[in-house]
Chain A
Amino acid sequence: MSENSPDSSGKIGYVVLGATKAEGGTRTVSFRLGGESDLPFIGMNTGQGSIPLVAFEICDDPEYWSPIVTSYTGDLSNDAREWAGVAEKQYGADIIRLYLTSTKRRGFDNFSSITTVMEEVLSGTGLPLVVEGSNEPAIDSDVFQRCGEAGEGERLLLGTAEAGRYRSVAAAALAYHHSVLAQSPIDINLAKQLNILLREIGVKADHIMIDPYTGTLGYGFEYSYSVMERIRSAALKGDTDLAMPMITSATDSLSVKEVREADPAALEDIAVEWEFYAALSSAIAGSSVVCVRHPKTVPLLKSAFRELWAGKMPGEA
């Protein structure tokens, strides 16, 4: 009956992202996420865990990317390796999240290109990687197998696993020792169900991050926030099936009407603000990793987190 007890007895488990040379990989840094025993900024403020990390999202086919970003980055977005390097060194990201958007092309079957892109990005940055494989169930098996294989030893976070579609991601994670990004549609019960499904297939709790699914501000974020709070409080009350760190990405921040239809002169600023506030709010709701796409959002978030989490260090493993 621990779920029923009002006092917090549980603690969020740890997930390690990335592997340094000493850990069998090639990353220059690895992060140990999780460990919270309280909601952020509530209570004695002692258990709110380490400072949230900022993941910068890139892709291997910019045709499927927001023009707000690609017009800012220019040619850079055509070269995933370079882009990853710039994100690390210039934007100051903590993590790179690679979307294999090339697999969205109709009839995509050039699976060897996935290995190539993976190798390029791994050589372009020393940061831990989150990799988003296919969007199409028919090619999941081929895509995730390559992602997993190309990143063997690097402790990637592989996504996205959903309730009806998690086997290929889980298989790649098990075969090549990665973690799984488990996404549920703003629903605590489905989040739990998916974690149970993953456990049954063999993925351990310390290899799962919860993505509660985030709508951006004004487009459902309040639902996401509430679900994140509920996931976190259930976990703190002792529900171990929900006691994993969370990762969020309000990907629609750059495509909502207010941003899309903004005055061209102000568009970039509005885009960055929209992304910033959605990501900041996610972190306050308990997210360990927030993902953004506009380069200018990264330093803003980093500085906000530093102030809000004064004295806390990034969770280096």
Chain B
Amino acid sequence: MTDIDTAITLGNASLKEKLNAIDGPLAYEETAYHLPVAYALTGRPVHTGKEAILAYTLTKENPFVACESILALSEQGPGREPAPYTGFIGDAVLRKLGYSLVDGSILGLALLIGTPANAETASRICRELQEKYMLTFLAGDVVPALSLASVKLGLEYRLIPLGSTSVHGVHFVDIITRVALMFGGVVPGDPGRLLAYANQRAKAIAIVFPGLDNEGIALVDALRLLGIPIISLGGYEGGEWIATAPEDAVREGMERKGIKVTVTAIPIPMSCSPAFEGKSIRKEEMYVEFGGGRSPAFELLRVKPASEVTDGLIRVTGPEIGSLKEGSAVPLGIIVEVAGKSMRADFEPVLERRIHNFVNYGEGSWHVAQRDLIWVRISKEAVNNGIKIEHIGKLIATKFRIDFPDLLDAVQVTLVTDLDAVLKGKKEAEAIYEERDLRIQGMKDTDVDLFYSCTLCQTFAPNHVCIITPERPALCGAISWLDGKIAYEISPSGANQPVEKGNVIDRVKGEFDGVNRFVKKASHGEVERCSLYSIMEYPMTCCGCFECIALMLPEVNGIMVVNREYKGDTPSGMSFSTLAGTIGGGAQTPGFAGISKNYILSDRFLQDEGGIERLVWLPSLVKEELKERLVQKLNELGHPELFDKIADETKATTLEELVAFLDEVQAPALTMKPLL
């Protein structure tokens, strides 16, 4: 056992002695940075022994400066060690190495130093470092040990033998130093910034075998100043080195320095990019479709214990693309299972919403809606290029890993195309959706001080801002207040931001000064005021994703709601799509609002206009879908008869028919305070 602290003292003393004995010109070849460490720390170019001693004193006897000066003398001319040793590495090569570091093709740097007890262990560690895209530098006895084990060394193998002694390890430091000067904007003579850069940006680790000499120990220990974790494989005591078993050394070092092996490319035969997000696949271009009312389909994301998720595992249950008929509609279940230390069950719906984006990123895949309403298409072109259903799973799994590197450790995807399995899975999924909806139920706007914004749709509606409150979900129906809160936690600079409610301006209309401030800023000054509970005055803007449109019908003193799925005529004289074209794009249109279906059931629905009693017309599909909860709500209000007083398309599709119907049932809207 070597005592580290004693060795450091002895090592530094011996380095000092050698430094004091230096005589002659000092220089490295092919560098503009003189003796790089001394230059970076002091701002002084060192070229003589005297200057070296001065730099050493100025840096409070920094062992790097000593080693660097000693080698600068000995490595010159014939003193340069023969191949495979590289000695000092010139700026041109370093620029390329630095390039690879910034560009991500090298994830980090490792120094291997000391005397491995057996070459096998050393070569295993080297292999692991290579596999994890680390660039490894070797100094001292580790080099002959690896050569004996026939490990190939050289830049092309990402294993660089710096020199035959442990002191050569200082070249590892001069490389980090020059990378900081070249790429990090660090100025020579500013040791504070150099240290900050090394600590925060340099992804470097050191792995130390036993048997290091005193000078080597002094050098290695000084790496701690640069924030480099020193992983010791035994043989040392005292000090602050991290003793680790050889098989854990690389993982331990990389984890401590936060070096993550990241996924960058999606290995499927289709381009994937946000650029394709807005592209649709028309019927004639489509090879196969799933859901959209043509076949049962659903998507579900669940968090699982790490032991139950194999990262990257993609399974297809049921027929693959080859056995599907062109132009057919096929059942589909997308089940994404994820694991991660900080992943929580309430993050599920937020992440689940991302499946929509990811599938749309594919050049030949298209996705709309959510939950059990999804509609997915794969294009003929994509299928011709070899895209299979499995690849959609791969796309989803890989994108989740790329976009949530800190949150998710493993993602596996199961795609179900077998009808019975889809029906069964859909049923289970629906129970989970309901559970999630229940979680938000019962929360009131008055219970919270923060609302959340959503500006996801500013891509195409530049000034649109959704304000999401516990009692008013986003107009697309896909993001509740809780989802907004979680999305903000996951990605604090994302599209969902907290909105301070501020002071109440109008309790009934739902106008708050904090909300107004936020909306003004987020709409780039376009929208000054926003009432959350009124559609008549300063209603919220609309992007284009609204599940439903609510609009006033002055002739009957009421408000009608029409949903996206309803294709027919409405008493307003306009179809959904005509209305959507009129109010979308981020505009504020008094008398009109985009809303979610669930908002109809909210106590805040049309609060300023008199609540649900104003509702005069609602397509039967929505009425049916909401029936159970709507009836319950009306009972609570003491107006169970109201359900039948709301017209649908079977009662009226024109204004005349609506007037007649409302007169007949004596709808409350007719006698309420005039809307205009």
Contacts and interface: CB of A to CB of B under 8 A. Distances in A.
Contacts of B100: 141, 145, 171
B183 A202 contact: yes
Contact of B274 (A163, A230, A233): A163
A228 to B, nearest CB: 12
Contacts of B459: 187, 189-190
Interface residues of B, number: 27
Interface centre among A1, A149, A164, A190 (most CB of B within 10 A): A164
Contacts of A175: 95-96, 98-99, 102, 182-183
B183 A174 contact: yes
A234 to B, nearest CB: 7
A90 interface: no
B521 A185 contact: no
B521 to A, nearest CB: 5
Interface string B438-460: 00000000000000000100110
Interface string B73-105: 000000000000000000000011011111111
Contacts of A4: 520-521, 525
B103 A141 contact: yes
Contact of B99 (A145, A164, A233): A145
B99 A226 contact: no
Contacts of B521: 1, 3-4
A137 interface: yes
B185 interface: yes
Nearest to A138: B265
Nearest to B264: A137
Which of B95, B98, B273 has the most chain A CB atoms inside 10 A of its CB? B95
Nearest to A202: B183
B103 A168 contact: yes
A171 B99 contact: yes
B462 interface: yes
Contacts of A202: 102, 183-185
Contacts of B102: 167, 170-171, 174-175, 201-202
B99 A172 contact: yes
Q: Tell me the dominant secondary structure on chain A's binding face.
A: helix
A109 to B, nearest CB: 15
Nearest to A142: B105
A149 B93 CA distance: 11
A140 B105 CA distance: 10
A264 interface: no
Given A3-B521, A175-B98, A202-B185, A141 B105 contact: yes
B524 interface: yes
B504 interface: no
Contacts of A227: 462
Interface string A208-243: 000000000000000000110010011000000000
Contact of A230 (B265, B455, B462): B462
Interface of B: 95-96, 98-105, 182-185, 264-265, 273-275, 455, 458-459, 462, 520-521, 524-525
11 contacts: A145-B103, A164-B273, A170-B102, A171-B102, A172-B103, A174-B99, A175-B183, A190-B274, A202-B183, A230-B462, A233-B524
